[in-house]
Amino acid sequence: MGSTSDLPVMQDAIDILKEFGITVDVDIVSAHRTPEKLFDFGKNAHTNGYSVIIAGAGGAAHLPGMVASLSPLPVIGVPVKSSNSIDGWDSVLSILQMPGGVPVATVALNGAKNAGILAAQIIGSSDAEILNKIQSYKEGLKEKVIKGAEEVQKRG
């Protein structure tokens, strides 16, 4: 993520990935403030054992796109609504509107949980154990909705 101030939002991705038993490496890298670190991370992530990169940033959020330009790995972008943001649109549009050839899979504003699930699904496409966990997770979602509907109906 671009700043420690993004951590409260990005924590959702960390938590869900850990729930799926996936190793997470968490770091602060900024295209604007630490360009050399960004270049080093982006160029070497695929040979350093990473499978998927989740990049969260707010404001003029160049981090996800720049990581995607440097790395052959799939990059998931999380637009973070930072404190001085233009309602989050600044971050959403700067992550979403990538030029052809350099995709960033952009989730909803502050959608770090979905970013974590999507990363798990990408990893799960070649890992049966993780795929199973994702299936169970989705079953859990379904059961929650069914139980909720039953409660509502009981109350009349």
Ligand X SMILES: Nc1c(C(=O)O)ncn1[C@@H]1O[C@H](COP(=O)(O)O)[C@@H](O)[C@H]1O
Q: Known binding site for substrate: residues?
A: 3, 6, 33
Q: Is 2 in the site for ligand X (CB under 6 A)?
A: yes
In three-state secondary structure terms, 23 is coil
CA–CA gap between residue 60 and residue 44 (Å, rounded): 24
Q: Number of residues in contact with ligand X, rule: CB under 6 A?
A: 18
Question: Which amino acid does the sequence have at 151?
Answer: E
116 lies in the binding site for ligand X (CB under 6 A): no
CB 66 within 8 A of CB 74: no
Rounded to a whole number of angstroms, the CA Rg of the chain reads: 17
The set of residues, in sequence order, having a beta carbon less than 8 Å from that of 59 and lying 6+ positions away, is 82, 84, 85, 90, 91, 94
Q: Considering beta carbons, is residue 5 or 125 the nearer one to ligand X?
A: 5
Structure tokens given for 131: 């795929």
Q: Does residue 110 interact with ligand X by CB under 6 A?
A: no
Residue window 40-79: x/- pattern of binding to ligand X, with contact defined by CB under 6 A: -----------------xxxxxxx----------------
106 binds ligand X (CB under 6 A): no
Residue closer to ligand X (CB basis): 55 or 120: 55
Positions touching ligand X (CB under 6 A) are 1-3, 5-6, 30-33, 57-63, 80, 82
